[in-house]
Amino acid sequence: MTQAPRPGPALRVSVPTLSPSSRLYMGTEAGGSALLLVGTLLALAWANSPWAAGYDTFWSTPASLGIGDVELSMDLRHWVNDGAMALFFLVVGLEITREVATGELRDRRSVAAPALGALGGLAVPALVYLAFNPSGEAASGWGIVMSTDTAFVLGVLALFGPRCPDRLRLFLLTLAIVDDIGAISVMALFYSDEIVLPALGVAGLLVVALLVLRWLGVWKLTPYVLTGIALWLAVHESGVHATLAGVLVGLLLPARPPSRKEIDRTAAFGRALREDPDASKARSTKLAVASTVPANARLQESLHRYTAYLVVPVFGLANAGVVLNAETLRAAATSTVTLGIAVALVLGNAVGITLGAFVALKTGWGVLPGGVRWSHLMAGATLAGIGFTISLFITDLAFDDELLREQAKIGILLGSLTAAVIGTVLLRTLGERFPLCSPASDEPPSLPPRPWIEPGVRV
């Protein structure tokens, strides 16, 4: 495939850029997960430093946005959790829609195994947690253990996984997409505040407006973006968590590419620009080229880097600051919330995902991607116990008691770290023992025995 050169004339002074290997690293999940890890470690260091008091003070700082008497005011942590994270969930929704329209989620048998695995990974961890916390306020934390952190899981797979991990990555990515759908649904249904019906009605009308835009075939992003902002405001005022607006916009943006005929029409705009360049023709050509890419892909390309490399790391910085002193660790060691979350993330996901995939395979509903064995599946299921971003997110929704929140966050950190270590060891060990590569060796095939002669030549 032809690689297009960098657009625009070269600068008079060269500007240093990342090396190709650095760009490749930053363009993978490994780069995003590394920044999330940095944000988490900074939050822990800040919360346990001599300046610990400043951590909560900073993130509790109020910030307002308004015009005249109309004002929206939240503290910085809520601007991150309710506002910036809506962009993260928007990208999740865009990814789900793209996969359903043109990706791996089109094939029922390819989807069945990771989808049923994801359902097992939603149900079994929640049941394990409820076994530790069957009643009381602590029981409301069952949703914390239901989500796999896609960025961390795929980042660990990219950094420490076996050679040729693409097929296993495909399984885990499909599982994570279905898992995200389940976790978002749980968040919307069970972790919303008191519902304000008029605002919810406005939100419903705006969803209809998005459907109408899609039905009309509107391909420009501006109408969708403006409607999406209005939808976020309506959902925020309705009492439902505002991040749901991001998911809805992502699910409703068109993802199917235009017809070949529409794509071929762009050549006429290019010819007109070459014959007589001016600003108007340049703008028309730009719009014509943009129209050949679905609105879903264009918005995802614009937002993905910002959510992966800015929004999610800042979210980790704002929410992972847990005080880890002798007192809190002693309380966590005997807390059913901490133990329930840690065991549910590690054991619940490993068992639930494996059982769900087992049902799909034994019934014939689904198949594993080529080269993936049961051993790889179980290792990947263990790695999927890394439940960080959405787990921290639901923690703030599930508990009002600050002590329970701290114990839950310690459980998330402990469970996620344990799942990452065990999953990595299993992947490395089993990946070398049962290679995913096809052929199994990267070495070139051996030469035939001598003499090496051309066919038909006598010796």
Q: Cβ distance 381 to 354 under 8 Å?
A: yes
Given this model, what pLDDT does residue 242 score? 82
- Region class of 371: left (phi > 0), else alpha (psi between -120 and 50), else beta: left
> β-strand 62-67 against 70-75: which pairing, if any?
antiparallel
Determine the average pLDDT of the residues in 404-409: 91
What is the spatial distance between Cα 115 and Cα 177, in angstroms, rounded to a whole number?
9
The dihedral over CA atoms of 29, 300, 105, 157, expressed in degrees to the nearest 10, equals 0
Given this model, what pLDDT does residue 20 score? 47
> Looking at the predicted structure, is the pLDDT value of residue 411 above 90?
yes
pLDDT-derived band of residue 324, with 50, 70 and 90 as boundaries? Answer: confident
pLDDT-derived band of residue 4, with 50, 70 and 90 as boundaries? Answer: low
Which are the contacts of 192, defined by CB distance < 8 A and separation ≥ 6? Answer: 239, 240, 241
Picking from 203, 241, 207, 237, the residue whose alpha carbon sits closest to that of residue 224 is 207
> Looking at the predicted structure, is the pLDDT value of residue 131 above 70?
yes
Is residue 130 exposed (0-12), middle (13-18) or buried (19+ Cβ within 10 Å)? middle
Q: In degrees, to the nearest 5, what angle opens at C-alpha 233 toward C-alphas 197 and 391?
A: 90
Given this model, what pLDDT does residue 432 score? 66
Determine the average pLDDT of the residues in 203-212: 94
Least confident of 184-193, 270-279, 350-359, 413-422: 184-193
pLDDT in tens, 213-255: 999 988 889 999 999 999 999 998 888 878 888 888 988 998 8
Determine the average pLDDT of the residues in 430-437: 64
Which are the contacts of 380, defined by CB distance < 8 A and separation ≥ 6? Answer: 157, 168, 171, 172, 175, 353, 423, 427
Which value, in Å, is the radius of gyration of the alpha carbons in the chain?
25
Spell 59-81 as b/e; 16+ CB within 10 A means b: beeeeeeeeeeeeeebbebbbbb
More confident residue, 376 or 416: 416
Widest distance between CA atoms in the chain: 98
Determine the average pLDDT of the residues in 255-278: 80
Distance of CA 132 to the CA centre of its chain: 28
Least confident of 79-88, 116-125, 273-282: 273-282
Which are the contacts of 368, defined by CB distance < 8 A and separation ≥ 6? Answer: 113, 171, 357, 361, 377
> Looking at the predicted structure, is the pLDDT value of residue 209 above 50?
yes
pLDDT-derived band of residue 459, with 50, 70 and 90 as boundaries? Answer: very low
pLDDT-derived band of residue 256, with 50, 70 and 90 as boundaries? Answer: confident
> Looking at the predicted structure, is the pLDDT value of residue 455 above 60?
no
> Looking at the predicted structure, is the pLDDT value of residue 121 above 50?
yes
What is the spatial distance between Cα 396 and Cα 178, in angstroms, rounded to a whole number?
23
> Looking at the predicted structure, is the pLDDT value of residue 9 above 50?
yes
pLDDT-derived band of residue 319, with 50, 70 and 90 as boundaries? Answer: confident
pLDDT-derived band of residue 178, with 50, 70 and 90 as boundaries? Answer: confident
Which are the contacts of 331, defined by CB distance < 8 A and separation ≥ 6? Answer: 403, 407
Which are the contacts of 320, defined by CB distance < 8 A and separation ≥ 6? Answer: 39, 40, 43, 44, 392, 409, 413
Q: What stretch of H or E contains 73?
A: strand 70-75
Sole residue written with tokens 């960080």: 388
Select, from the ranges 21-35, 142-156, 211-225, the one with the highest average predicted confidence (pLDDT).
211-225
Distance of CA 450 to the CA centre of its chain: 55
Give me the sign of the Cα torsion angle 358, 359, 363, 364.
negative
Least confident of 101-105, 228-232, 317-321: 101-105
pTM score, whole prediction: 0.75
Given this model, what pLDDT does residue 247 score? 84
pLDDT-derived band of residue 211, with 50, 70 and 90 as boundaries? Answer: very high
Percent of the chain with pLDDT over 90: 24
